[in-house]
Amino acid sequence: MKFPLITVSALALAGCATTYEMNLMPRDSGRMYSGIATDNGAGQGRVDITIEDKRYAGTWVAITSDHSHGWVSGGFGYGRHGWGWGGLGATVTLDNPNGGESKALLTAQDGSGLRCDLRNSGGYGGGVCRDDQGRVYDVQLRPAPAPHG
């Protein structure tokens, strides 16, 4: 019975993963570069970016969430024995108006680094990456199209 439970759990977790396309443009030229970011559904994931012939790879982690959850309760009403407190409550989700923030730390095979500060809201976002030489790249993020097949 353990094997089917493990299989179902793995499939459920895999269903939470999302892939994002990344477009990067350096501030000193109009050249476009690309990358892929994945979200494992737990506030972190992998990032792969290719600039020129150099591939940067690493991970990102959420610094602030794009939403918060809370419990709201209270109230009063009139019952058989007069006025009194009731027991109403609900879970509430609030969007962060600034979107979620993430930090990505990437390295290339030659040991050089790329650091990215990313922001997202509703699956779309952007940010800035900087390499070791101080070159700055503006970033766009969007959900990758679903594979056909």
Whether 26 maps to a domain, the answer reads yes
Query: Where is pLDDT greater, at 146 or 71?
Result: 146
Residue 66 φ then ψ, to 5°: -85, 0
Q: Is residue 107 part of a domain?
A: yes
pLDDT band per the 50, 70, 90 thresholds, residue 11: very low
Per the domain annotation, does 89 fall within a domain? no
What pLDDT shows up at residue 100? 82
Choose among 57, 69, 73, 127: nearest CA to 98.
127
The answer to the question of residue 85 being in a domain is no
Average pLDDT estimate for 65-81? 55
Residue 49 has pLDDT above 70, yes or no: yes
What CATH number does residue 137 fall under? 2.40.128.120
In a domain, 106, yes or no: yes
Q: Residues 24-28: what's their mean pLDDT?
A: 98
**Residue 23 domain-assigned?**
yes
Total domains in the chain come to 1
Within a domain: residue 47? yes
What's the confidence (pLDDT) of residue 105?
98
Q: Which domain holds residue 36?
A: 17-66+99-143
Could you write out the DSSP letters of every residue in 54-105?
A: EEEEEEEEEEE-SEEEEEEEEEEEEETTEEEEEEEEEEEEEE-TT-EEEEEE
Tell me the per-residue pLDDT of 81-113, one tens digit each, with 9 for 90 and over: 666 555 556 665 544 445 689 999 999 999 999
> Is the residue at 121 inside a domain?
yes
pLDDT of residue 69: 47
Matching residue, tokens 């089917």: 4
